[in-house]
Amino acid sequence: MRGTWLLLISLSLICAESDFTLLSQEERAGIPAVYVTEVRKVSRQNAEIDHSGDSPHRDHDVMIVLEDHEHFAGVKRWHLTFMRGGEQFTSALDVEENVGSEQKKFVFPTELITEANAVFITARDEVGTTLAFGSSQIKIPEMKSYLAWVGTAYDPAASFLRVDPGTLPVVEIGDHVCKQNTSPCYILNERLPEVVSRCLTITDLVTDVPVMVCDDTMIPFHELTMALTVEFIEDHTILLTLVTYQEEVVTSIEVVAYDPNDPSTVFSPLDSQCDPRDAVEPGQVQCSQNLRQTEKPDGIEVVIVVFTSQNGSSFPQSFKLRHWFIVDDEQAQTGAIVIGSIIGVLVGMGLIAALIILVR
């Protein structure tokens, strides 16, 4: 039944490019069918390769996962095609015969086409003969969620993650739930997986078979390159001063201050915003944040995330620092007096005990 519907779908589409051609009914009848189970937006594997027609700003590739099938001998190239109305977006992947997780997982150097209404995949040999054919009639949803490693590079034992659900209503990571109307969310100094998948299950409009559409992209850590000065003011305020480069425009700054001994104790406001201030000198950007503290802790750890706009694209730069507060002179003197008094009492008690022993 699935194969019959597969043929009907392909008959309903008209494709002009040679990378994807409509086969005759006789030709299709003899070609094994493959079935798409997952369409994944994954981080770009090689940004150095200049693919034909490729977008220079593309930051991801597309992984296609197929259902278990027989091995197809002689495959040299796989083609992936997205159809969106009358538009066709085709990408090719050259492979060795046995490469590709036994012909089940393929990463194509192309973009995930939002609002596409059909996905096609074909396997061909070295002379262009089609060896396998598959399609899925699903509508690709908008999959914009932004997960970025901040503060430090990813560490499987202890990482810092900024979560923005984007167009998704919610993103769940373990016990953490980040909702669209309360983002961004920060997960601080925790053991996290290197990839956090955000998936939706879409039903094929013809076969009623579920297909998972996922976003697996993670924004890597970018260390802050601008000169930074951080001041801790007595009224529980953090004051930041940045020196910007000429080509960079700071669009926003977020600050997350927390107890280094207990990262779940966060002193920053829920929105993490650092409120802009008028800079004293040209080329500087200043902002401040009032911390929610009932008393001053021994130390404080701060993750600073700076969003800059450069050549039309925006990405976060970040930095992590730890600050230990110095006890003032009055507190130090008081401490010394208390310690001295305790020592004096102990010495006095020792002398009295010695006199009693001598008398006896």
Q: Judge whether 359 lies within some domain.
A: no
Q: Judge whether 300 lies within some domain.
A: yes
Cα–Cα–Cα angle for 63, 69, 72, rounded to 5 degrees: 90
Domain C-terminal end among 115, 136, 157: 136
pLDDT of residue 118: 94
Q: What is the CATH number of the domain that holds 247?
A: 2.60.40.1930
| 11/110 same-domain check | yes
Does residue 334 have a pLDDT over 50?
Answer: no
Q: How many domains does the chain have?
A: 2
Domain C-terminal end among 136, 156, 183: 136
Confidence class for position 330, pLDDT limits 50, 70, 90: very low
| 127/233 same-domain check | no
The residue segments making up the domain with residue 252 are 227-324
Cα distances from 146 to residues 71, 111, 347, in angstroms, run 37, 16, 65
- Short-list 288, 343, 290, 298, CA closest to 323: 298
Q: Judge whether 346 lies within some domain.
A: no
Q: Judge whether 128 lies within some domain.
A: yes
CB 190 within 8 A of CB 162: no
Does residue 14 have a pLDDT over 80?
Answer: no
* Mean pLDDT value across the chain: 81
How confident is the model over 58-62, as a mean pLDDT? 90
Domain C-terminal end among 118, 136, 154: 136
| 110/232 same-domain check | no
| 122/239 same-domain check | no
How confident is the model over 302-321, as a mean pLDDT? 86
How confident is the model over 168-188, as a mean pLDDT? 93
| 6/130 same-domain check | yes
Confidence class for position 6, pLDDT limits 50, 70, 90: very low
Q: Judge whether 316 lies within some domain.
A: yes
Q: What is the CATH number of the domain that holds 66?
A: 2.60.40
pLDDT of residue 11: 37
| 13/116 same-domain check | yes
Q: Which residue has the higher pLDDT, 27 or 345?
A: 27
Distance CA 164, CA 138 (A): 26
144-168 tens-digit pLDDT: 899 999 999 999 999 999 999 999 9
pLDDT of residue 192: 97
* DSSP conformation class of 19: T
Q: Judge whether 207 lies within some domain.
A: no
Phi-psi sector, 208: left (phi>0), alpha (psi -120 to 50), beta:
left
Does residue 65 have a pLDDT over 80?
Answer: yes
Distance CA 53, CA 115 (A): 20
201-249 tens-digit pLDDT: 999 998 899 999 999 999 999 999 999 999 998 778 999 999 987 777 8
Tokens of 165: 């659900």
Q: Judge whether 197 lies within some domain.
A: no
Does residue 56 have a pLDDT over 60?
Answer: no
Does residue 268 have a pLDDT over 90?
Answer: yes
pTM equals 0.79
- Please tell me the least confidently modeled range out of 9-18, 106-115, 266-275, 294-303: 9-18
